[in-house]
Amino acid sequence: MTTNILEMRNITKEFPGVKALQNVTLNVARGEVHAICGENGAGKSTLMKVLSGVYPFGTYEGDIVFENETVQLGNIRDSEAKGIVIIHQELALSPHLSIAENIFLNNEIKGRFGLIDWGKANQEAQKLLARVGLREKATTKISDIGVGKQQLVEIAKALSKEVKLLILDEPTAALNDEDSDHLLDLILSLKGQGITSIIISHKLNEIKKISDSVTVIRDGKTIETMNQEEITEDRIIKDMVGRDLEHRYPDHTPNFGEEILRVEDWTAHHPTDPTRVVVDHVNLNVRRGEIVGIAGLMGAGRTEFAMSLFGRTYGSKITGKVFKAGKEIKTRTVTEAIDNGLAYATEDRKNYGLNLIEDIKRNISMASLKKLERLGLINDGEEFTVANQYRKSMNIKAPSVLSKVGKLSGGNQQKVVLSKWIYSNPDVLILDEPTRGIDVGAKYEIYTIINRLASEGKGIIVISSELPELLGICDRIYALSEGRITGEVPIAEASPEVLIKYMTMESPR
Amino acid sequence: MSTELKPGGGPLGTEEVGPPENRANSAIGHVLADIGKNGIFIALIAVLVLFAILTISPQGDSILLRPQNISNLIVQNGYILILAIGMVLVIVAGHIDLSVGSVAAFVGAISGVFAVNMGMPWFVAILLSLLVGAVVGAWQGFWIAYIGIPAFIVTLAGMLIFRGLALIVLNNSNIGNFPPEYRALGNGFIELAPIELGVRSSLDLVTLAVGALAIIGLFVQQFRTRVGRAKYGQDVEPLGFFVGKLVLISIGIGLFFYSLAAAKGIPVTLIILGVLVLIYTTVANRTVFGRHIFAIGGNRHAAELSGIKTRSVDFWLFVNMGVLAAIAGIVFTARLNVAGPQAGQGFELEAISAAFIGGAAVQGGIGTIGGAIIGGFIIGVLNNGMSILGIGSDYQQTVKGLVLLLAVAFDVYSKRRSGGSR
């Protein structure tokens, strides 16, 4: 029986409108690799932010006991001083600085007169790089190395802080298999050096491979902690999804009409590196009333496809043809795409979808102001009425349509985004990760809205990383791998296994 | 303002959300909410009262509030306020314009060449000068919108370029003796029906009538908005509070026009300014173009993905700024009756200060024309009051700098407290 290095007791954390964590308990034994599983929005990242001081002491309830001592972490520096270091999914490296500069950022090695001793810093950095098995010079710029290597730099940076508990948030999400394997081996070798790790991951095979125990979180609650012998993928999935799996998706009776959208030979290249093909001769179609899914791993080119199609907002050297109801249309600018009946709800609501400092009303009208124009002036009253109708029909929970969108919960924000696009009256809606970061109840509502749109005769394309979601709501699913459509599966034949096979298919070149 | 879900409540879809805290129900609550919203308006009144008291003369009246001085306040600050109108829009879109002072000087010089050296009719000279302003704006807008150079850099360059061009056009000397119609734009007054009151004072009836019209217009407009809001089911203020506020504002307007009537009548600059404020407030709030400016400032990516042509909006925004800088340049030149190479120095800083004191957000997306105008008046009253007190420009600059800093600090603080950060 090992002693626990960390005990998080009854942690509760609330955000406006959402209880993100409710009485979550997490015990991590010294020297183990402890995996945390859960669906998107289950509360994993929130829990880790509590632990690393991002959400300071006082903004949550419950106790954190680290090395048998109750700690009150006010910020990231506090937690790092204790030896708790978190590596976020989005790496926190400064691209124009060197590896060594990044490793010792805010932790600089000082020489005489308080000046930075770069000679020593580079030397120390080189030693750390050797420890993580990265063969690069410490003076190399971060922007000159790949994501896999950058991940190793992050770990080297953590080691420089004398880390005792290393938290990795989806460390392999953006890595290829080779880099992933290397990273997992590194975590095991750090374990050999006495460093405890918490790893958040969606990849169950990975978890099974390296973890000593697994804690599953669902809807902000701890479901259970399994030890090594108990870990099976099935059990993790069952815990993650919960028993009411069959009720997570509303019933949907498909009623297909004519083909509304067809895309032929759609090809797009990387915006800054036009030699790289990102979307590769994609062909697909959608009928009226049909919900079509696009499955693919991160980097498969799903969002890139959608954005290149929607007014060429991504990529360079874009070629291919688009047909709406059999007639060729152009979508060279967003305005042109909207005028031709397309809508694209982005995967990144906050940065690309909403004006957070504006109210609900103005966000909903943003893409369709022309409709509200009378003699060159916007009809305020009509705008208010329209927004209010959407607030009611979409069940946007806010005191009024004059509430600022930035204060709404993720689910309500997403309903505002959907309202905006529905008001633009499109024939085809492309919904990119429509339920990302949304709690379970709101997800159900979003699915209901999607169904309603389909039954109104619109064509829907849903891009999602969550296979259960695609399987739950789509009528047909395309699998995308390395920018190519590698499979097209009717829902009756679709299963996670089938989709994953296509999603991981290497395209013949 | 959170929309808390009741624990154990029914399925998430079925819950209706009640009204937020009863913030809208008491008149006191309204006063407090209004102070939060109209902090700068109250700041303007505070500054006015402060200097009104500080400038009480040995005769017992306040020099600041003398009719002649109130009239001067408008004429001396008109061009800054005109610039502030354009500047706040530029700032809302997330840009800045450092060149407006130089552009004003350049256009002033050009208009001198047209109106004096070439002897063109005054209105032709003015129209051509406005066109030059538009071209200058298009030049800067091109680099900012289509080449993607930050506005700070483009207009910093513009500040040098157009100051230089002003010097070249003027050949290092002044142009004076503008035609009287041109001069009227800067120091003309409309006084049609003065009635004599005693020996040395008179009141202009037309000015008083305009003041009365302004008050009636305010009442009509406010009531129509209120009825409209109520019709669409929006919250409205309690009637007593609403009327009380209107009466107070009306008294202010009345006193203001009374002062003008007692001085020389309505300054032409005020008419220009009033027309511009009406036009631009409508543009900002009620037109697609105006909404696009706010959408771009709030989130440029989201605006682009909503089909807003961000480059085109940026471009026309700077064309517009160029035209407003031209108007400011003409008004300033007209007031001095001289186009000089050093005209307009520091205008950009006063206009930018006015916008920020008036509540514009540095990150863009937030700002009002009314706020910028009030911000400009605060600076104007500070300038004027301190000058009356004989405070040197050394202290004046220091005070103005501190006021800008504190105004923005207060704004940031109050936004953070209301949870509006992010």
Under the banding of pLDDT at 50, 70 and 90, the label for residue A345 is very high
Total domains in chain B come to: 1
Strand A33-37 to A196-200 pairing: parallel
In a domain, B390, yes or no: no
What is the number of other CB atoms lying within 10 angstroms of the CB of residue A287? Answer: 21
What is the model's pLDDT at position A287?
96
What token pair was written down for A377? 């002036």
In a domain, B134, yes or no: yes
Average pLDDT over residues A266-288: 91
Average pLDDT over residues B169-178: 90
Alpha helices in A242-359 (DSSP H): 302-309, 334-339
Helix and strand numbers (H, E) in chain A are 17, 22
What is the per-residue DSSP string for B347-363?
Answer: HHHHHHHHHHHTT--TT
What is the model's pLDDT at position B22?
40
What token pair was written down for A333? 């600018």
CA distances from A496 to A237, A438, A465, B309 (A): 12, 22, 12, 41
CA B77 to CA A394: how far, in whole Å? Answer: 49
Strand-pair partners of A196: A165
What is the model's pLDDT at position A362?
94
DSSP 8-state symbol, A247: G
What is the model's pLDDT at position B26?
57
What token pair was written down for A478? 């395309």
Under the banding of pLDDT at 50, 70 and 90, the label for residue B152 is very high
Under the banding of pLDDT at 50, 70 and 90, the label for residue A467 is confident
Does residue A271 contact residue A316 with C-beta atoms inside 8 Å?
yes
Query: Tokens 């004519």 identify what position?
Result: A258
The torsion angles phi and psi of A409, rounded to 5 degrees, stand at -75, 165
Alpha helices in A395-474 (DSSP H): 410-423, 440-455, 467-473
What is the per-residue DSSP string for A331-345?
Answer: -SSHHHHHHTTEEEE
A335 → closest Cβ in B3, B286, B307: B307
Look at residues A19, A103, A12 and name the one whose alpha carbon lies nearest to residue A61: A12
Q: A467: which residues sit within 8 A by CB, 6+ positions away?
A: A295, A496, A499, A500
In a domain, B235, yes or no: no
Which CATH number covers residue B85? 1.10.3470
> Which is more confidently placed, B12 or A256?
A256
**Is B39's pLDDT higher than 80?**
no
What is the model's pLDDT at position A507?
55
What is the model's pLDDT at position B198?
63
In a domain, B256, yes or no: no
Under the banding of pLDDT at 50, 70 and 90, the label for residue A367 is very high
User: Does A351 sit within 8 Å of B301, measured CB to CB?
Assistant: yes
* Cβ pairs A/B, distance under 8 A: 132
Nearest chain A CA: its distance from B409 CA (Å): 19
What is the model's pLDDT at position B1?
36
**Is A473's pLDDT higher than 70?**
yes
Choose the CATH number for A250-341+427-509 among 3.40.47.10, 3.40.309.10, 3.40.50.300, 3.20.20.70. Answer: 3.40.50.300
Under the banding of pLDDT at 50, 70 and 90, the label for residue B20 is very low
Look at residues B212, B331, B205 and name the one whose alpha carbon lies nearest to residue B268: B331
CA A434 to CA A432: how far, in whole Å? Answer: 5
In a domain, B357, yes or no: yes
**Is B206's pLDDT higher than 90?**
no
CA B291 to CA B294: how far, in whole Å? Answer: 5
- In this predicted structure, which of A8-22, B25-39, B334-348 has the lowest mean pLDDT? B25-39
pLDDT in tens, B331-357: 999 999 999 988 999 999 999 999 999
Does residue B359 contact residue B350 with C-beta atoms inside 8 Å?
no
What is the model's pLDDT at position A424?
94
**Is A144's pLDDT higher than 60?**
yes
User: Does B1 sit within 8 Å of A407, measured CB to CB?
Assistant: yes
pLDDT in tens, B241-254: 888 888 988 998 99
Q: Which domain holds residue B173?
A: 71-191+264-383+398-417
Burial of A105 by CB count in 10 Å (0-12 exposed, 13-18 middle, 19+ buried)? middle
CA B373 to CA B73: how far, in whole Å? Answer: 13
What is the model's pLDDT at position B143?
97
- Most confident of the following: A134-138, A177-181, B82-86: B82-86
CA B76 to CA B186: how far, in whole Å? Answer: 9
Under the banding of pLDDT at 50, 70 and 90, the label for residue A442 is confident
What is the per-residue DSSP string for A64-102?
Answer: EEETTEEE---SHHHHHHHTEEEE-SS----TTSBHHHH
Under the banding of pLDDT at 50, 70 and 90, the label for residue B44 is confident
Average pLDDT over residues A173-185: 80
**Is A39's pLDDT higher than 80?**
no
A354 → closest Cβ in B2, B287, B299: B299
> Which is more confidently placed, B38 or A251?
A251
The residue extents of the domains of chain A are 4-247, 250-341+427-509, 354-425
What is the model's pLDDT at position B135?
98
In a domain, B84, yes or no: yes
What is the model's pLDDT at position B11?
36
What is the model's pLDDT at position A269?
92
User: Does A356 sit within 8 Å of B422, measured CB to CB?
Assistant: yes
- In this structure, which long-range contacts are made by residues A221-224, counting pairs with CB atoms below 8 Å and at least 24 apart in sequence? A221/A21, A221/A22, A221/A23, A221/A24, A221/A43, A222/A23, A222/A24, A222/A25, A222/A26
What token pair was written down for A432? 């990119």
Indicate which of B1, B3, B285 best probes the interface with A, i.e. most A CBs within 10 Å of its own CB.
B3
Mean pLDDT of all residues in chain A? 88
> With contacts defined as CB-CB under 8 Å, which chain B residues touch A314?
none
In a domain, B40, yes or no: no
**Is A6's pLDDT higher than 80?**
yes
Tell whether domain A4-247 is in CATH 3.40.50.300.
Answer: yes
> With contacts defined as CB-CB under 8 Å, which chain B residues touch A376?
287
> With contacts defined as CB-CB under 8 Å, which chain B residues touch A400?
234-235
What is the model's pLDDT at position B35?
61
In a domain, B232, yes or no: no
> Which is more confidently placed, B138 or B31?
B138
Q: Do domains A4-247 and A250-341+427-509 have the same CATH topology?
A: yes
pLDDT in tens, B258-275: 999 888 889 999 999 999
Average pLDDT over residues B131-157: 97
Q: Determine the distance from the C-alpha atom of residue A234 to the mean position of all C-alpha atoms in its chain, rounded to a whole number.
A: 23
Under the banding of pLDDT at 50, 70 and 90, the label for residue B408 is confident
Q: A87: which residues sit within 8 A by CB, 6+ positions away?
A: A151, A154, A155, A158, A166, A167, A168, A169, A171
What is the model's pLDDT at position B9?
34
Does residue B280 contact residue B87 with C-beta atoms inside 8 Å?
no
**Is B421's pLDDT higher than 50?**
no
**Is A285's pLDDT higher than 60?**
yes
Q: Determine the distance from the C-alpha atom of residue B382 to the mean position of all C-alpha atoms in its chain, rounded to a whole number.
A: 16
Under the banding of pLDDT at 50, 70 and 90, the label for residue A497 is confident
